[in-house]
Amino acid sequence: MKISLDELKQKKAVLSIEDIDFYLLNSIRRVMLSELPKLAIEDVVIYDNTTTLFDEIISHRLGLVPLPTDPDLLNFRDECICDGKGCPNCTVRYTLSKEGEGTVYSGDLQPSEASWRIGEDLVPIVELFNDQRLILEVEAVLGRAKDHAKWQVVTAPGYRLYPMIQFDSKNKKNVEAFVKELPEGLVTSVKKDTLELSDISKLPVFESYMDMEDIDFIRIEKDPRHIRFHFETDGSYSASKALKKSVDLFEQKLKDFTELIDDI
């Protein structure tokens, strides 16, 4: 297997993976979607709410705020030594108090400890008018997306096969003439009998030009052993952390499954 990094940002990653089976990559993708432990607001106590939104709507919006998560520092509440009562080992608390005209943002939630300060601090919760106010307290706990969507870390993980764009070498002059008509930078090289795109996500653009020009001397096939894998996070994890944690969880599941088989 060969893996190279095409793009890495705080909340986005794109990888080029060669010689990997679909089932393996799809298993990691499914772990990303449903198994990553994430911190999310579970309990909300509203002391005063004179806004235009009901308590339930505000609570729902609070639950979807991406909170910074370090699963190595927290226990799941139902597995904690406090027996689910809620202690610093399994629960993170925030308070919010705002009054007067303006918008209440996720950054207005004040953590009990500075290390849990919200990075995605511009998520709007509710707009205040005149002398309206909102005063509340919340508790956040670890959970998994398979139990509720508010605990979903990764959004839209997906993959596509790299294209193999080929042509007969005797048509190379026709291919070169066609490439000159394409947007600049779409095709990076024309070799003996293949073309390479600057970005495989631009393949539909290339195909649309082929259709318009009625090109029949270029063939596009998919390479089943070369995959482009991409995903984004909601900000609760960095992209690199989400990938590493997903692989660790998948590896642990394989170990657990092997032990169960050995016990049969």
Q: Helix or strand or coil: residue 174? A: helix
DSSP state letters, 85-137: S--TTTEEEEEEEEESSEEEEGGGPEESSGGG--S-TT-EEEEE-TT-EEEEE
Q: How many Cβ atoms sit within 10 Å of the Cβ of residue 229?
A: 20
Rounded to 5 degrees, φ, ψ at 189 are -155, 150
Which pLDDT value is given to residue 1?
86
DSSP state letters, 55-69: HHHHHHHHHTS----
Which pLDDT value is given to residue 54?
97
Which pLDDT value is given to residue 172?
87
Q: CA quadruple 75, 76, 80, 84: dihedral positive or negative?
A: positive
List the pLDDT tens digit at each of the 264 positions of the chain.
899 999 999 999 999 999 988 889 999 999 999 999 999 999 999 999 999 999 999 999 999 999 999 989 999 999 999 998 999 999 999 999 999 999 999 999 999 999 999 999 999 999 999 999 999 999 999 999 999 999 999 998 999 898 999 998 888 889 989 999 999 889 987 888 889 888 888 899 999 999 998 999 999 998 888 999 999 999 999 999 999 999 999 999 999 999 999 888
Which domains does the chain show, CATH number per domain? 2-34+156-230 (3.30.1360.10), 38-150 (2.170.120.12)
Residue 101 tokens read as 């005209």
Which pLDDT value is given to residue 78?
92
22: left (phi over 0), alpha (psi -120 to 50) or beta: alpha
Helix axes 22-34, 239-263, angle to 10 degrees: 110
Which pLDDT value is given to residue 9?
95
| pTM confidence score | 0.84
Q: How far apart are CA 187 and CA 140, in angstroms?
A: 49
CB 162 within 8 A of CB 220: no
Which pLDDT value is given to residue 189?
79
Sole residue written with tokens 């953590």: 111
